[in-house]
């Protein structure tokens, strides 16, 4: 198993070439309270509507939401829906859209009417031409994809059977990818898995798999037996069957079957959940994940997606919150990454009428003396912010051989303490600018300082705040610890 922090850090360096059926997803939310007097049909009182990039476009957006780059090859008509998709995708920083126009077909568009209160779909209206692309359009799709293959770390074919992934497009892309040593993931729609011959991984859902293999697919042994037969015919390395609340079962050509249970979540809408799964699989595998790690990561992403309404994307931050242990997240979320993040905390705490405290230091090697001051500081306020000297600031104050630990490591150790509510790094030699920004109700330092030596005390007391000095523990200091360890202070 690969550490998720290492894996997610690698996401941003990956490029996925995604080819598939693009569509415009629209959701009309409202409630039904009466029957039309014109016909025995319910009338929906519309409350709001949303428009999203759907189909393979949602796969591309999920790839980008995880921090990876997506080169997306798709097809649109020369109509308003197509123009809306072009405009929306062009605004996505990590998506490079290569859209082919077909003047004789409409852009695939789906409008869903949804009960706002119950989150249930009542009706769907489709505009589409589910026919294979014409010869000229087909060749344009092939040319666009093959020109980008060398740039991709992995290839993903998202088949919605709307005409983009013709047999010739599929064959051309898979064969070219194999010649370049690129792995190919296919989210199939055709029941003839043979047309995807040579793909690294096929990811049908349970119904698609049962239809294609004419098997029950109701337990792991039956899935494994049917999958291995399919893989022999399709020359694939693995086959993944997604089974909604039953989880996911991966059957590799070699090795044991891997089953990952589904997360227990409240399902709001399953629209696009499969897109999230294949996008996360592609990015994870490209970043170096093994099969099990990629599956567990995709399962966690799916759990986030089904908890949202409409065609949803899952961000890396949301995935981290669902996959990392609560203690790890608690520490990570207590480190202010920007002044905006600090201001949001301050605004929320002030709106709640909370008393905000502040203390600061280098905290190079955390010891009991630090812990006593921090605990005492937290007792004097409702929320404690700790100002942390940056690495450059510590070097200026302590010498070139300090700090012992870099600022990220020092911040994480501080954030893990229950007494600390937020850690903010500052670059200056003193925290004066930070104190002016925070305007704390309480300013705290160790008792080895006199009141006059406390930076910012005049500012705090002038605003009616309080300065608190905490008695320190004798015999504890970072300098003495460094000397004892044989280092230089």
Are 189 and 317 in the same domain?
Answer: yes
Could you say which of 324, 340, 374 is where a domain stops? 324
In tens, the pLDDT along 205-260 reads 999 999 999 988 888 888 999 999 889 888 999 999 999 888 899 999 888 999 99
Joined tokens for residue 484: 């004892």
Could you say which of 324, 339, 355 is where a domain stops? 324
Q: Please check the confidence at residue 2 and state whether its pLDDT lies above 70.
A: no
Q: Please check the confidence at residue 446 and state whether its pLDDT lies above 70.
A: yes
Res 254: pLDDT: 85
Gap between the Cα atoms of 320 and 329, Å rounded: 8
Q: Please check the confidence at residue 489 and state whether its pLDDT lies above 80.
A: no
Of these ranges, 154-168, 354-368, 409-423, 470-484, the one predicted with the greatest mean pLDDT is 154-168
In tens, the pLDDT along 29-54 reads 999 889 999 999 889 999 999 999 99
Q: What is the pTM of this model?
A: 0.72
Res 320: pLDDT: 85
- Mean pLDDT score of the chain: 90
Are 378 and 300 in the same domain?
Answer: no
Are 440 and 409 in the same domain?
Answer: yes
Q: Please check the confidence at residue 172 and state whether its pLDDT lies above 80.
A: yes
Q: DSSP states of 54-99 as a string?
A: EEHHHHHHHHHHTT-EEEEEEEEESSHHHHHHHHHHHT-TTEEEEE
Residue 364: inside a domain: yes
Tally of structural domains, the chain? 2
Res 483: pLDDT: 57
User: Per-residue pLDDT averaged across 181-198, rounded?
Assistant: 96
* Helix, strand, coil percentages for the chain (3-state, nearest 5): 40, 25, 35
Res 326: pLDDT: 60
Gap between the Cα atoms of 330 and 421, Å rounded: 10
Which residues are marked as active site? 275
Are 313 and 336 in the same domain?
Answer: no
Are 257 and 380 in the same domain?
Answer: no
Alpha helices (H) along 309-390: 316-323, 326-332, 339-351, 368-379
Asked if 94 and 52 count as a contact pair (C-beta separation under 8 A), the reply is: no
Res 470: pLDDT: 86
Residue 128: inside a domain: yes
Q: Please check the confidence at residue 479 and state whether its pLDDT lies above 60.
A: no
Q: Please check the confidence at residue 475 and state whether its pLDDT lies above 70.
A: no
Range of the domain at 122: 4-324
Could you say which of 263, 292, 324 is where a domain stops? 324
Are 309 and 415 in the same domain?
Answer: no
Q: Give the model's confidence band at 480: pLDDT under 50 very low, under 70 low, under 90 confident, else very high.
A: low
Residue 489: inside a domain: no
Closest by alpha carbon to 92, among 119, 67, 116?
67
User: Per-residue pLDDT averaged across 107-136, rounded?
Assistant: 90
CATH code, 348: 3.40.50.620
Res 359: pLDDT: 95
Q: Give the model's confidence band at 488: pLDDT under 50 very low, under 70 low, under 90 confident, else very high.
A: very low
Joined tokens for residue 234: 């399709």
Q: Please check the confidence at residue 200 and state whether its pLDDT lies above 90.
A: yes
Residue 196: inside a domain: yes
Gap between the Cα atoms of 408 and 391, Å rounded: 9
Q: Give the model's confidence band at 151: pLDDT under 50 very low, under 70 low, under 90 confident, else very high.
A: very high
Residue 242: inside a domain: yes
Joined tokens for residue 64: 């980008």
Are 319 and 359 in the same domain?
Answer: no
Are 319 and 461 in the same domain?
Answer: no
Neighbours of 104 (CB within 10 A): 10
Are 273 and 198 in the same domain?
Answer: yes
Phi, psi of 383 (to 5 degrees): -140, 130
């Amino acid at each position: 198993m690969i550490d998720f922090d290492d894996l997610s850090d690698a996401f941003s360096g990956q490029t996925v070439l995604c080819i598939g059926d693009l569509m415009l997803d629209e959701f009309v939310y409202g409630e039904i309270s009466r029957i039309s007097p014109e016909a025995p049909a319910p009338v929906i009182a519309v409350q709001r509507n949303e428009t999203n990039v759907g189909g393979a476009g949602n796969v591309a957006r999920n790839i980008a939401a995880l921090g990876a780059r997506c080169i997306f090859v798709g097809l649109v008509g020369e109509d308003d829906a197509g123009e809306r998709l072009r405009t929306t995708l062009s605004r996505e920083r990590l998506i490079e859209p290569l859209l082919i126009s077909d003047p004789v077909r409409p852009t695939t568009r789906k409008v869903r009417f949804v009960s706002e209160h119950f989150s249930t779909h009542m009706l769907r209206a489709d505009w589409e031409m589910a026919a294979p692309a014409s010869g000229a359009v087909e060749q344009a799709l092939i040319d666009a994809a093959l020109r980008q293959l060398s740039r991709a770390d992995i290839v993903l074919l998202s088949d919605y059977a709307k005409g983009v992934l013709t047999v010739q497009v599929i064959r051309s892309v898979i064969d070219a990818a194999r010649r370049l040593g690129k792995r190919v993931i296919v989210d199939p729609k055709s029941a003839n898995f043979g047309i995807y011959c040579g793909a690294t991984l096929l990811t049908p859902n349970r119904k698609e798999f049962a239809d294609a293999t004419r098997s029950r697919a109701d337990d792991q042994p039956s899935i494994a037996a049917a999958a291995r037969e399919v893989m022999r015919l399709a020359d694939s390395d693995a086959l993944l069957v997604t089974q909604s609340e039953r989880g996911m079962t991966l059957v590799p050509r070699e090795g044991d079957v891997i089953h990952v249970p589904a997360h227990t979540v409240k399902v709001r809408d399953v629209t696009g959940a499969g897109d999230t799964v294949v996008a996360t699989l592609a990015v994870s595998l490209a970043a170096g994940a093994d099969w099990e790690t990629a599956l567990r990561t995709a399962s966690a992403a799916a759990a986030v997606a089904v908890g949202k309404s409409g065609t949803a994307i899952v961000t890396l931050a949301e995935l981290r919150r669902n996959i990392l242990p609560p203690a790890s997240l608690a520490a990570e979320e207590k480190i202010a990454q920007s002044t905006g993040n600090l201001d949001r905390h301050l605004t929320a705490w002030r709106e709640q009428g909370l008393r905000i405290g502040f203390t600061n230091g280098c905290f190079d090697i955390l010891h009991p003396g630090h812990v006593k001051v921090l605990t005492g500081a937290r007792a004097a306020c409702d929320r404690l912010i700790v100002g942390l000297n940056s690495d450059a600031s510590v070097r200026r104050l302590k010498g070139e051989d300090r700090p012992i630990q870099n600022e990220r490591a020092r911040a994480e150790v501080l954030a893990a303490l229950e007494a600390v509510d937020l850690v903010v790094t500052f670059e200056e030699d003193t925290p004066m600018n930070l104190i002016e920004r925070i305007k704390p109700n309480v300013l705290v330092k160790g008792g080895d300082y006199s009141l006059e030596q406390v930076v910012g005390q005049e500012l705090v007391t002038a605003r009616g705040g309080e300065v608190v000095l905490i008695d320190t523990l004798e015999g504890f200091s970072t300098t003495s610890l460094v000397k004892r360890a044989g280092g230089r202070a």
